Amino acid sequence: MMELLETVFVRNNLVVAFAVVGITTWFSYWLANRLTAGRIHGSAIAIAAGLLAAWFGGIMTGGSRGVADFALLSGIGLMGGGMMRDFAIVATAFGAQLSELKKAGLAGVVSIFAGVIVSFTVGAAVAVVFGYTDPTEVTTIGAGAVTYIVGPVTGEAIGASEAMMTLSVAAGLVKSILVMIGTPLVARHIGLNNPQSAMVFGGLMGTTSGVAAGLAATDPKLVPYGAMTATFYTGIGCLLGPSILFFIVDGIF
């Protein structure tokens, strides 16, 4: 019986991964609606569940690729590998209208660049405080503070270790969840009550799921304005992280 299961699962590993990730995602969105009334986006719970499963997988198998080291789930390794990740992230740029950027105006564009650079600098500074001095490590943590996708994309491009890339995903996830929960709490204090400030907010925060969920909890009418600038954020992050920002860090250390 076990043998039969293993034969089918291993032979169709990528297909199994689709099904497993689909079930995980469904369960996470159900939890998000049930337990947090949608305050925390289902995607954040799903990613957190992924990290938790990876931790469990690492402990159980002693391997370095999370649940992908279980033979039955080896397809997760392919589905979540660098090639598929880059393919999907590039696809998210589809439909981004350059005219939207014009509508966002100077403040919107400035906020996107400022958001990437500020988050990166803060993340990198925290890494230095924690005693990291290797430029690839400092850069990867800084990029993770930009978003959980800019972290591993940058880390892989500059040859960071797996552990550093994992930390960058975790840092990005913390940021995303914090934006979801924190936005309605601080909205009044940061003047987040009009389209203009929502666009600046989207550009500064950049984490699309965080911005969408955070603004929805604040005022649903503001979501499209925040999403408009946040859409460009990850792209700019992937562009600047493994290039100018890495060179600057490399020059300092």
Partner 1 sequence: MIIYGVALLSACLVAGMLIGEGLGIVLGVEANVGGVGIAMLFLVLVCNSDRFSALTVGAAGDGVKFWSAMYIPIVVAMAARQNVAAAMDGGALALSAGVAAVAVSFALVPVLSRIGADKDAGADGRETTP
What number of residues does the chain have?
A: 253
CB-wise, 35 or 122, nearer to partner 1? Answer: 122
According to the binding rule CB under 8 A, does residue 224 interact with partner 1?
Answer: yes
For residue 226, which of 185, 180, 189, 188 has the smallest C-alpha distance?
Answer: 180
According to the binding rule CB under 8 A, does residue 65 interact with partner 1?
Answer: yes
CB-wise, 4 or 219, nearer to partner 1? Answer: 219
Q: Are 57 and 63 in contact (CB under 8 A)?
A: yes
Q: From 1-9, 30-38, 48-56, give the range in contact with partner 1 by CB under 8 A.
A: 48-56
Applying CB under 8 A, among 39, 134, 184, 195 the residue interacting with partner 1 is 195
* Binders of partner 1 in range 86-125 (CB under 8 A): 86-98, 100, 103-108, 110-111, 114-115, 118-119, 122-123, 125
According to the binding rule CB under 8 A, does residue 182 interact with partner 1?
Answer: yes
Instruction: Return the structure tokens found at 118.
Output: 């500020």
Q: Are 32 and 38 in contact (CB under 8 A)?
A: yes
Applying CB under 8 A, among 204, 215, 217, 249 the residue interacting with partner 1 is 204
Cα 145 to Cα 170: distance, rounded to the nearest angstrom: 9
Cα 30 to Cα 34: distance, rounded to the nearest angstrom: 6
> Please, what is the minimum distance in Å from the beta carbon of residue 9 to partner 1?
16
According to the binding rule CB under 8 A, does residue 215 interact with partner 1?
Answer: no
According to the binding rule CB under 8 A, does residue 2 interact with partner 1?
Answer: no
Residue 50: count of CB within 10 angstroms of its CB = 20
Instruction: Return the structure tokens found at 168.
Output: 């960058």
According to the binding rule CB under 8 A, does residue 10 interact with partner 1?
Answer: no
Residue 247 exposure: Cα atoms within 13 Å on the Cβ side: 4
Q: From 2-10, 31-39, 225-233, give the range in contact with partner 1 by CB under 8 A.
A: 225-233
Site size with partner 1, rule: CB under 8 A: 133
According to the binding rule CB under 8 A, does residue 175 interact with partner 1?
Answer: yes
Instruction: Return the structure tokens found at 158.
Output: 């500059």
CB-wise, 1 or 87, nearer to partner 1? Answer: 87
> Please, what is the minimum distance in Å from the beta carbon of residue 8 to partner 1?
20
* Binders of partner 1 in range 134-163 (CB under 8 A): 141-142, 144-146, 148-149, 152-153, 156-159, 162-163
According to the binding rule CB under 8 A, does residue 233 interact with partner 1?
Answer: no
CB-wise, 1 or 171, nearer to partner 1? Answer: 171
For residue 240, which of 149, 162, 164, 150 has the smallest C-alpha distance?
Answer: 150
Alpha-carbon separation of residue 218 from 77, 182, 201 (angstroms): 37, 10, 12
> Please, what is the minimum distance in Å from the beta carbon of residue 63 to partner 1?
8
Alpha-carbon separation of residue 36 from 112, 214, 223 (angstroms): 29, 13, 19
Cα 181 to Cα 187: distance, rounded to the nearest angstrom: 11
